[in-house]
Amino acid sequence: MQMMTASSLTQIHPPPKIDPRRFRDALGQFVTGVTLVTAKAGAADRVGVTVNSFTSVSLDPPLVLFCLGRQAQTLPVILSARSFAVNVLGRDQQAIAERFALDPRSWGGVDTAVWVTGAPILRDVPAALDCQLYATHDGGDHVIVIGRVVQLEGSEDAAPLGYYGGRYVGIDRRDPAGSVE
Ligand SMILES: Cc1cc2nc3c(=O)[nH]c(=O)nc-3n(C[C@H](O)[C@H](O)[C@H](O)COP(=O)(O)O)c2cc1C
């Protein structure tokens, strides 16, 4: 079978214009969790950003990734710290997601610890992963950030926060697929 490369596709079919609204609507049908990606900015400064583009990449080595807008204030901090943490938010932590989507330094009332890298780890989250920067790749108007997990914790029975159709949703693991009438 002949491999279809990006350049041969471009020559045969000029990239079609994709309407941004329809693009967002289609992507909104993909259910995700919601994370707070954090990084240490200096001795007394730290930042966080709400991210739902998080996914696992590799088991060995243990790699995860997320995509971060090139203009995001958190990006240069992660690149200079060469580390970050991914905090998976629970269904009762929507307010944290909303705040950090607007302000990367809205730490008031958020209880944190540090593990290996110095990136803030939120207490009482369903899961947290402390990561060293492993690689970055071009992702158009975003940068694909890959981290190697150096420490992690996860709860067996936490109820995570989800994001679907442009809205936050609670996800209850007691709702198995197919159970909805
Ligand atoms: C639910 C949700 C998920 C988001 N996911 C991402 C993401 O994966 N990548 C990203 O760059 N921005 C994402 N954002 C937007 C960022 O949280 C933030 O608003 C944006 O990066 C602007 O950051 P700035 O204040 O540093 O410019 C998301 C926002 C929300 C509300």
- Confidence band for 175, pLDDT divided at 50, 70 and 90: confident
Would you say residue 176 lies in a domain? no
Task: Give 74-143 as a 3 state SS string.
Answer: HHHHHHHHCEEEEEECECCCHHHHHHHHHCCCCCCCCCEEECCCCCEEECCCCEEEEEEEEEEEEECCEE
Peptide bond connecting 160 to the previous residue in cis, omega within 30 degrees of 0: no
Would you say residue 19 lies in a domain? no
Determine if ligand 1 sits within 6 Å of the CB of residue 74: yes
Which DSSP state fits 27? H
Q: What percent of the chain has pLDDT over 90?
A: 82
Contacts of 61 (CB under 8 A, 6+ apart): 134, 148
Provide the pLDDT for residue 120: 98
Query: Which residue puts its alpha carbon closest to atom 6 of ligand 1?
Result: 51
Would you say residue 149 lies in a domain? yes
Determine if ligand 1 sits within 6 Å of the CB of residue 79: no
Determine if ligand 1 sits within 6 Å of the CB of residue 84: no
Q: Worst-scoring range by mean pLDDT, 9-13, 19-23, 45-49, 101-105?
A: 9-13
CATH classification at residue 93:
2.30.110.10
Would you say residue 18 lies in a domain? no
pLDDT above 80: residue 2: no
Provide the pLDDT for residue 1: 45
| Ligand 1 binding pocket mutation candidate from 52, 74, 87 (most atoms within 8 A of CB) | 52
Query: Which residue puts its alpha carbon closest to atom 4 of ligand 1?
Result: 51
- Measured between alpha carbons, how far is 146 from 165 in angstroms, rounded to an integer? 26
pLDDT above 70: residue 15: yes
Cα 13 to averaged position of ligand 1 atoms, centre (Å)? 32
Supply the range of the domain harboring residue 87: 31-166
Taking the whole predicted model, whether its pTM rises above 0.75 is answered as yes
Query: Which residue puts its alpha carbon closest to atom 18 of ligand 1?
Result: 101
pLDDT mean across residues, the chain: 92
Q: What percent of the chain has pLDDT over 70?
A: 92
Would you say residue 15 lies in a domain? no
Determine if ligand 1 sits within 6 Å of the CB of residue 34: yes
Query: Which residue puts its alpha carbon closest to atom 24 of ligand 1?
Result: 72
Would you say residue 24 lies in a domain? no
Average pLDDT (118-141) is 98
- Confidence band for 8, pLDDT divided at 50, 70 and 90: low
Tokens of 70: 């090139």
Give how many domains the chain has, as a whole number.
Answer: 1
